């Protein structure tokens, strides 16, 4: 099932995207399956959160969409164009301008020997957005002002180490904005920032969505922050998207046992963890994975069939779907679906 946006014309359509890596060598060559059959569409001015733990495949999706590596299977449609059929040339450069990426580590993504102004000038020049030094300087200052880095002339003359983590992430956002993107792929954009400045960066992203019509794929391991920023949330486990829904619906009525585990592990404001489900140990097997559900080794509801067959997608209505044998396809009102409400800790720990 494709997670579709209600709007008629999505900006990005991801169709059965897969990524496998070859590991080892000679007779020991094996396939690491990082991403299986991911399908969804991202609408204009929409924020989709991809939530999951390390190794779940969420950053792999972002890197495939940014064309930092080729997929093993599937399609990426940008405004209806199959961009994987376009050769690395002018068309590809235009796509990269339209689909920008923000990385987790704002310091690592900036070159310490260059000024902030230099970092913003480069994309402007590369994409032909300024044709003389005066226009270039004006655009750099305008970008810095847009992300609330003032006085712009002073900030432009600074080096990355002279800014705070939050300011550096704002520079990374300004750099992405330099080429007027339609989509920003934000890979854990606040996870390395102090808690006190996370909200400011998320609010900036929200404002830019409204002002510039930008859509975001927001990648995070923090399901509470997904609730704060995302229209829809998709949950990933072991390279599979296992559940997707409007964010509020997902938090109020999680269906997949893994989603419930994520929600129950959100720290409450007093700093403790409220885990209502047994957090069974076990890491998913990405190399030669066994048949069946990838969550079977950790799932408190595991059944025999879970170890034999991969669950089909069940439509739970209102844009909510899940891949779990507790919800056979067609059983919209499966009994397990409405048994749990969002924990108070998720309400409180939005970021
Ligand atoms: Fe658990 Fe089975 Fe559902 Fe997988 S398919 S999440 S093992 S109940």
326 lines ligand 1 (CB under 6 A): yes
Query: What residue spans define the domains of the chain?
Result: 1-79+217-266+278-351
What pLDDT sits at residue 342?
A: 44
- Residue 289's Cβ-count burial label (10 Å; 0-12, 13-18, 19+) is middle
Residue 322, ligand 1, Cβ within 6 A: no
Please give the distance, rounded to the nearest whole angstrom, from the Cα atom of residue 235 to the centre of ligand 1: 14
Q: Output the six-digit token pair for 322.
A: 């899940």
Q: Which range (28-32, 35-39, 44-48, 339-343) has the least confidence?
A: 339-343
The Cα–Cα gap between 293 and 311 comes to: 7
Measured in Å, residue 220 CA sits from the centre of ligand 1 at 23
The whole-number average pLDDT for the span 128-155 is 93
Residue 346 has pLDDT above 50, yes or no: no
Q: Is 299 in the pocket of ligand 1 (CB under 6 A)?
A: yes
- pLDDT confidence of residue 266: 75
Residue bearing the bigger pLDDT, 140 or 343: 140
Pull the structure tokens for residue 213: 């019509």
Mean pLDDT confidence for 334-349: 46
Is the CB of residue 254 below 6 angstroms from any atom belonging to ligand 1? no
Encode pLDDT of 73-130 as tens digits: 999 999 998 988 877 666 677 888 899 999 888 778 889 999 999 999 999 998 888 8
Q: What is the mean pLDDT of residues 41-54?
A: 94
Q: pTM for the whole thing?
A: 0.86
- pLDDT tens digits along 184-238: 999 988 887 887 788 888 899 999 999 999 999 999 988 888 988 999 999 999 9
According to DSSP, the residues that pair with 99 across neighbouring strands are: 183
Mean pLDDT of the chain: 85
Instruction: Name the residue of 296, 314, 334, 339 whose CB sits within 8 Å of the most ligand 1 atoms, as the mutation to test its pocket.
Output: 296
Is the shortest distance between the CB of 265 and ligand 1 below 6 Å? Answer: no
Point out the ligand 1 atom lying closest to the alpha carbon of residue 327: 3
Q: Please give the number of the atom of ligand 1 that sits closest to the Cα of 257.
A: 6
CB–CB of 322/305 below 8 Å?
no
State the pLDDT at residue 343: 45
The alpha carbon of 275 and the centre of ligand 1 are apart by a number of angstroms equal to 18
Question: Which CATH number among 3.40.50.300, 3.30.70.260, 3.40.250.10, 3.30.1360.120 corresponds to the domain 1-79+217-266+278-351?
Answer: 3.40.50.300
DSSP assignments along 48-116, one per residue: EEEE--TTSSHHHHHHHHTTSS--SEEEEEETTEEGGGS-TTHHHHHHHHHEEEE-S-TTTTS-TTS-H
The larger pLDDT score, comparing residue 256 to residue 224, is at: 256
Q: Tell me the best of 255, 258, 293, 300 to mutate to test the pocket of ligand 1, counting ligand atoms within 8 Å of each CB and taking the most.
A: 293
């Amino acid at each position: 099932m494709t997670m579709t946006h209600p709007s008629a014309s999505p900006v990005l359509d991801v169709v059965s995207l897969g990524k496998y890596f070859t590991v080892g060598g000679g007779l020991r060559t094996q396939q690491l399956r990082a991403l299986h059959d991911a399908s969804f569409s991202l609408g204009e001015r929409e924020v989709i959160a991809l939530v999951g733990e390390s190794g779940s495949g969420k950053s792999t999706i972002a890197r495939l969409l940014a064309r930092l590596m080729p997929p093993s299977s599937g399609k990426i449609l940008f405004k209806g164009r199959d961009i994987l059929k376009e050769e690395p040339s002018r068309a590809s450069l235009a796509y990269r301008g339209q689909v920008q990426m923000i990385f987790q580590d704002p310091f690592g993504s900036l070159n310490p020997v260059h000024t902030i102004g230099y970092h913003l000038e480069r994309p402007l020049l590369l994409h032909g957005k300024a044709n003389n030094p005066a226009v270039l300087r004006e655009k750099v200052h305008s970008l810095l002002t847009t992300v609330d880095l003032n006085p712009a002339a002073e900030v432009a003359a600074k080096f990355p180490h002279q800014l705070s983590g939050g300011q550096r992430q704002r520079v990374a956002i300004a750099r992405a904005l330099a080429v007027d993107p339609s989509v920003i792929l934000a890979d854990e954009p606040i996870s390395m920032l102090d808690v006190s400045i996370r909200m400011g960066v998320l609010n900036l992203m929200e404002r830019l969505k409204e002002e510039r019509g930008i859509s975001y794929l927001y990648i995070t391991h923090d399901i509470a922050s997904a609730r704060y920023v995302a229209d829809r949330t998709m949950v990933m486990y072991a390279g599979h998207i296992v559940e997707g829904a409007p964010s509020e619906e997902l938090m109020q009525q999680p269906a997949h046992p893994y989603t419930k585990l994520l929600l129950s592990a959100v720290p409450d404001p007093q700093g403790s963890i409220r885990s209502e489900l047994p957090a069974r140990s076990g890491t998913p097997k990405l190399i030669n994975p066994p048949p069946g559900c990838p969550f079977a080794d950790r799932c408190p509801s595991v059944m025999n069939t879970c170890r034999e067959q991969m669950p089909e997608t069940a439509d739970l209505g209102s844009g909510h779907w899940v891949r779990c044998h507790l919800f056979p396809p067609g059983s919209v009102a499966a009994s397990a679906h409405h048994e749990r409400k969002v924990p108070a800790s998720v309400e409180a720990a939005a970021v």
